[in-house]
């Protein structure tokens, strides 16, 4: 009684925010428990909203791919098992898409809160898959923004596989494919048609292999070079820059 409508609205919104925060907290707890249980760390698929992340996951895994009678068959809602033709497999996690300009402050707060739940997933991974809608006129800007967001989240040093999606929609698909071939760690796909998915899977496997088996640390500014030598490893090579620490990734020599 006596309260103005706007105050009533604010009260309702505050209550809704409270409920959503509690729900997110329980999601975070669940994911933490789940992370502790699982065998291999999933690869998060990040990128702008509408880039085709979910389409890629659906295309790779299908709706009924998981068998009921196997370990970890029931994975988290957005984490799926990808089985390759060569019998190997890896896990992919769909994440919340980024939006550069959000309509209202409330939407922004909700997106940040929602993304927090996936953040922990990202920070623990050894590889990020960055999906880009390469047919979008602002694709380049979106890549830059995404890179900026990743460095703000302190995950810029995690190795990345760039995926240029929607080549089928691009005005000159051949040019895009040739450009991707020239670049390191970039694959071209069309998630909707299923083009380039084998190459994508092989690239993920290849990167995971390098990261998990041969990755030694960072060579450069810090003391990691010494620690690599202390570990008795004299045969190693470096590649790619770790932007944050201005040092190079260091791998066991092939």
Contact residues toward ligand GTP (CB under 6 A) are 47, 49-55, 97, 165-166, 168-169, 190-192
202 near Mg ion (CB under 5 A): no
| Per-residue DSSP letter, 232 | T
CB of 93 to ligand GTP, least distance (A): 12
111 near Mg ion (CB under 5 A): no
| Partner interacting with residue 176 (select from ligand GTP, Mg ion, none; CB below 5-8 Å by kind) | none
| Partner interacting with residue 252 (select from Mg ion, ligand GTP, none; CB below 5-8 Å by kind) | none
- Which of helix, strand or coil describes residue 197? helix
CB of 33 to ligand GTP, least distance (A): 25
| Partner interacting with residue 191 (select from Mg ion, ligand GTP, none; CB below 5-8 Å by kind) | ligand GTP
Residue 153, both tokens = 């989240």
- Which of helix, strand or coil describes residue 70? coil
49-57, 163-171, 179-187, 209-217 -> range binding Mg ion (CB under 5 A): 49-57
Distance CA(210)–CA(26), nearest Å, equals 35
DSSP 129-145: EEEEETTSTTHHHHHHH
List the end-to-end C-alpha distance of the chain, in Å, as a whole number.
76
Contact with Mg ion (CB under 5 A) among 54, 58, 126, 205: 54
Angle between helix 53-61 and 197-209 (nearest 10): 90
54-62, 102-110, 156-164, 223-231 -> range binding Mg ion (CB under 5 A): 54-62
Q: HSE (CB half, 13 Å, CA atoms) of 247?
A: 17
| Contact positions vs Mg ion (CB under 5 A) | 53-54
């Amino acid at each position: 009684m006596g309260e103005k409508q706007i105050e009533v609205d604010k009260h309702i919104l505050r209550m809704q925010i409270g409920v959503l925060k509690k729900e997110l907290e329980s999601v975070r707890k669940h994911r933490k428990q789940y992370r502790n249980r699982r065998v291999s760390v999933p690869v998060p698929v990040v990128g702008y909203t509408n880039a085709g992340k979910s389409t890629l996951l659906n295309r790779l895994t299908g709706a009924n791919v998981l068998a009921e009678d196997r370990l970890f068959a029931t994975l988290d809602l957005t984490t799926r098992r990808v089985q390759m033709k060569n019998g190997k497999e890896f896990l992919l996690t769909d994440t919340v898409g980024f939006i550069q300009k959000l309509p209202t402050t409330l939407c922004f707060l909700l997106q940040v809160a929602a993304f927090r739940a996936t953040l922990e997933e990202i920070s623990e991974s050894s590889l990020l898959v960055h999906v880009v809608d390469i047919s979008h006129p602002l694709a380049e800007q979106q890549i830059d923004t995404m890179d900026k967001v990743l460095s703000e989240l302190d995950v810029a040093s995690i190795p990345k596989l760039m995926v240029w999606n929607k080549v089928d929609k691009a005005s000159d698909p051949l040019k895009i494919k040739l450009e991707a071939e020239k670049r390191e760690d970039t694959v071209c796909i069309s998630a909707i048609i299923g083009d380039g998915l084998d190459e994508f899977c092989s690239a993920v496997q290849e990167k995971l292999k390098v990261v998990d088996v041969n990755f030694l640390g960072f060579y450069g500014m810090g003391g990691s070079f010494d620690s690599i030598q202390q570990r008795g490893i004299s045969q190693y090579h470096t590649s790619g820059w770790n932007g944050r620490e201005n040092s190079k990734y260091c791998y066991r020599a092939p």
